[in-house]
Structure 1
Amino acid sequence: MKTFTLGALATAVALLVAGAVQAQAPNIENLKQMKVSGVDPSMPPVPQEGKNAAALRENLKRVKLPPGFKIELYAVVPDARHMAVAPSTNMLFVGTRKSTVWAVTDRNSDGVADEVKPFAPSAKFHVPNGVCWTKDGFLIVVEHNRVLNFPAAEFFYEGGDVAVIETVAQGKLIPPEEESYNHHARTCRIGPDGMLYITLGQPYNVQPRNKIDLFNKVGIGGIVRMNAFDGSKREVYATGIRNSVGIEFNPKDKTVWFTDNQTDGMGDDIPNGEINRATRAGQFFGYPWKQGKTRMTDFGYDKDPLPANITDPQVYMDAHAADLGLAFYTGKTFPAKYQGGLFSAQHGSWNRTTPIGARIMFTSLKADGTADKTEVFADGWLDADTGLYRGRPVDVAMMKDGSMLVSDDFAGALYRISYSAP
């Protein structure tokens, strides 16, 4: 029997990783030049009917909505996370925290997806959670440590090879030595200025003091913006954020809204989750000195004077409900109460003795564009009798017909919420 030393094992792992990176590089170079990568073009679709789909529909009967609203299964999509609804066709792209971006298509325009299959498998994605569109129809995919841009993706997604622009090369979004499996899911949006905005979670429960300067410089624990095509003009837009996994622009006043996930291990009811609003570049949102209404005790942050320039949250959410994706309602079919308001998804708690979350929230706005009232809009994925999750909402997205999609990475599905006057 052969014995391996730790050093030999580390060397073997390093060689395997290096081999995987080298295998990816030619693929990207071929795609950038519109050349064939050699990947198998056959992409079997995800079954949309059967026992699993029937069970998902049965679970949706437990979801409570305001009068006049109904929720239906839109598509079976494994590990479904953040969504990007296509600008010109009845399809969308769905990111995951694994290695797949899904192309979801409603080919007969009946309000239910007909086909779900992998997008651009030759790109070999790594945690492609963040998906968003440029104004002229380029699909942005933000991975853990890379940003790719796919021209006209909604029209050229049928095969395994798709033209790509490498906006940020592998290992250039954050320093590779700061990569972590913790808080590594990025989200993105194109701003009114045409720039690409990306949320970058910091990888610690509470970041140590010796990381603050580096993180502020790079934008880890914040939001960065850059040119969506070549990554130029990069700057840190906002700091003092623990782990935002949801960003959106208010189309009325162009302000940036984002969620922030709270620190674990401080008890069931603190600190509050946050929905924040940024009105300009350079704002600081308090972390790690403060989150919600709570001072951070790790590394003695609570002994420091509280920084004077903190921008407080617009909404204080329940602790540990895990607020993720959010979107403004831009349709016309929901009642007037909801038009122009903010919907947001709560993934549900893990760090709590009594689970909370797994629901969709709604926040109305005041005339000045700030938050007014927040209430539960859709609830029921958390079984009150057993404390078990039957689903965990991640993101919300608005469809052109005025309906709203909800993604669920636990059940592996997209749901469609629509309204008809009772």
Structure 2
Amino acid sequence: MKKTVLHGLLTAFLLFNFFEATSQSTTASVKTGASSASLPAPFATKSVARFSNVIGWSNNKTPKAPEGFVVTEFARDLRNPRWIYVAPNGDIFVSEANTEPKGTKKVAAVASGKAKSQELGKSANRITLFRDTNRDGKPDVRQTFLEGLNQPFGMLVLNNSFYVANTDGLLRFPYKAGQTKMTVPGKKIVNLPAGGYNNHWTRNLLASPDGRKIYISVGSGSNVGENGMQYEVRRAAILEVNPDGTGERIYADGLRNPVGMDWLPGTRTLYTAVNERDELGDELVPDYLTSVRQGGFYGWPYAYFGKTEDPRRKGERPDLVKKSLAPDVALGAHTASLGLAFYDQKAFPARYRNGAFIGQHGSWNRSQLSGYKVVFVPFSNGKPGKPEDFLTGFIADLEKREVYGRPVGVAVLPDGSMLVADDAGNRIWRVAKK
């Protein structure tokens, strides 16, 4: 009798701990985006448009970093600085561009020193070079490197060439390390589908670790394929090409707007930050950070977070819903998670090494603002953990929806400091260890 009771109590105890552990595991899984179990139903809340009002930075204001870090202004008075690229020699290139009004005339990129600078709408359409020769955190060289571009974003130095990803194509220019201005014309080596939903005109670049391939991120041309999938060819994807532009193939797709790309340090594992779909409610669909599997399909537009079918495309492609891969880390709905850089230096405390910094440009399709910060995702043994706030203070007044600026691109410098592009505040911020 006593044995039976004890056995029953022991069984109950073990079952309780099993379900408790399972519950905790599921909760942790959901927090890092490996499961869609806790996502709300579509349209659980009304889809609303709540745009922020950018009021700009006063002279004594900066974003806020954790204790032990200092934030300073690296550069100001730029025009929508969106992306930062650090060349092998330490030169810093910043692309300045933004969404242009419909109907604005497009022109081909011009690199000649004799060419006239031409603005397209309100976009600067240029690349500015910064050089911190004294290594004191303040650039002593600032020079327009390239202008007359067509909404440039990603940049790359590879094999004595300088690459620029315009919204409509990949350009290649002959380049010598240390030059401060491009004086010869470039060549378009890949045509890309232009334009896109909201800010999906951005095209980013990343070289493979061995330099034999170039990866190009191309966002969707719509929210959820509402214009017809015939207009989404080679979109919502990461393309792979040879350095001369040949050999194009789709490396992975179903990625609604993959902007930031980087390699997990010491590996050949590609990661991307993805800006997910709108108009399903406040908490759908979370943006995410994910490793990218060659040939993988990540759901857009038919499914999200694995095999959760989008009700707006219900029953259309069950085959693609079935093969849809779940992303690794949820980053919050409508945060516009765009920037991505792994920390591969040693100046920051050890816990930041090999972790990912992600620039969140901020929401417009949510009843209360989300994003408007840089978050950090720690990695341990090559696996991502829970996102945490790192650079905040961009929101001035939550109730009034006032913001000082909006972070986008992040880049780690050779000295271990980090730069953050604030395209609405027209500044570049530097974050360093005290």
Letter in 2 for 1:87: P
* Alignment partner of 1:188 is 2:212: no
Which of 311, 321, 328 does residue 335 from structure 2 map onto? 321
Amino acid at match of 1:185: T
What pairs up with 1:90-169 in 2 under 5 angstroms? 90-97=91-98, 98=123, 99-121=125-147, 124-134=148-158, 136=159, 138-152=161-175, 154-158=177-181, 161-162=183-184, 164-168=186-190
State the AA in 2 paired with 1:64: K
Q: Does 1:291 align with 2:304?
A: yes
Structure 2 Cα separation of the partners of residues 302 and 371 of structure 1: 33
- C-alpha distance in 2, partners of 1:189/1:106? 23
- What per-residue deviation string (whole Å, max 9, x for no partner) do you get for residues 49-97 of structure 1? xxxxx9455220xx33221111100011321111111211443343433
Query: Which of 231, 242, 252 does residue 227 from structure 1 map onto?
Result: 242
**Structure 1 residues 180 and 350: CA distance shift in structure 2, 3 A:** closer
Deviations 1:189-220 (A, max 9, x none): 001242110111111111148416x74xx421
- 1:264 equivalent among 278, 297, 312: 278
Per the TM alignment, residue 335 of structure 1 is displaced from its structure 2 partner at its CA by: 0.4
Distance (Å, rounded) in 1 between the aligned partners of 2:300 and 2:412: 31
Distance in structure 2 (CA, Å) of the matches to 1:407 and 1:238: 27
Whole-angstrom distance in 2 between the partners of 1:55 and 1:288 = 38
The one-letter amino acid paired with 1:273 is D
Residue of structure 1 in register with 2:66 after alignment? 66
Q: Which has the higher contact order (CA 8 A, sep 6+)?
A: 2
Counterpart amino acid of residue 186 in structure 2: V
Give the structure 1 partner of residue 224 of structure 2.
206
Q: For each residue in 1:145-177, what CA deviation from the matched residue of structure 2 results, as whole angstroms up to 9, or x when unmatched?
A: 11112333552233x623534322xxx223x6x
Whether the aligned pair in 2 keeps the contact of 1:329 and 1:342 (CA below 8 Å) is yes
Residue 309 (1) aligns with residue 335 (2): no
Tell me by how many angstroms 1:309 deviates.
2.1
Q: Residue 365 of structure 1 contacts residue 373 of structure 1 at CA under 8 Å; is this kept in 2? A: no
The 3 A distance-change label for structure 1 pair 373 and 181 is closer
The whole-number CA distance in structure 2 between the counterparts of 1:64 and 1:155 is 33
With the length of structure 2 as denominator, give the TM-score of the two structures: 0.75
Q: CA deviation at 1:273?
A: 0.9
User: Does structure 2 conserve the Cα–Cα contact (< 8 Å) formed by 1:132 and 1:140?
Assistant: yes
Alpha-carbon separation, structure 2, partners of 1:328 and 1:288 = 28
Question: Following the alignment from structure 1 to structure 2, what is the Cα–Cα distance between the partners of residues 146 and 231?
Answer: 10
Q: Which of residues 269, 282, 288 is equivalent to 2:295?
A: 282
Say whether 1:197 aligns with 2:215: yes
2:192 counterpart residue number: 173
Q: 3-state SS of the aligned residue for 1:252?
A: coil
Runs of 4+ in structure 1 deviating by more than 6 angstroms, as ranges, are 178-181
Choose 94-103 or 326-335, whichever is displaced more. 94-103
Cα distance, 1:340 vs structure 2: 0.8
**Cα deviation, residue 339, structure 1:** 0.6
8 Å CA contact 1:56–1:411 kept in 2: the answer is no
Within 1, Cα distance between the matches of 2:312 and 2:256? 14
CA-based RMSD:
2.4
The normalised TM-score by structure 1 is 0.77
Q: Does 1:388 align with 2:390?
A: no
Question: CA 1:299–1:370 in 2, change beyond 3 Å: closer, same or farther?
Answer: same
- Deviations 1:398-420 (CA, angstroms, capped at 9, x unpaired): 10100000001001111110013
Fraction of identical pairs, as percent: 30
- 1:119 deviation in Å? 1.8
The 1:132/1:333 distance shift into structure 2, 3 A limit, reads same
Change (3 A) 1:138 1:303: closer
Separation (CA, whole Å) in 2 of partners of 1:164 and 1:373: 43
Task: Give distance in 1, aligned partners of 2:95 and 2:199.
Answer: 21
Rounded Cα–Cα distance in structure 2 between residues aligned with 1:85 and 1:380 = 25
In structure 2, how many angstroms separate the alpha carbons of the residues matched to 1:65 and 1:396? 14
Cα distance in 2 for residues equivalent to 1:245 and 1:414: 19
**Partner letter of residue 82 of structure 1?**
W
Gaps in structure 1 of 5+ consecutive residues: 1-53
* Cα distance per residue 1:100-141 (max 9 Å; x no partner): 1122232443211234332223xx21010112232x453221
Quote the offset at 1:305 in angstroms.
Answer: 6.5
CA shift for structure 1 position 394? 0.3
Inter-CA distance 210–247: structure 2 relative to 1 (3 Å threshold): same
Asked whether the 8 Å contact 2:303–2:321 carries over to 1, the reply is no
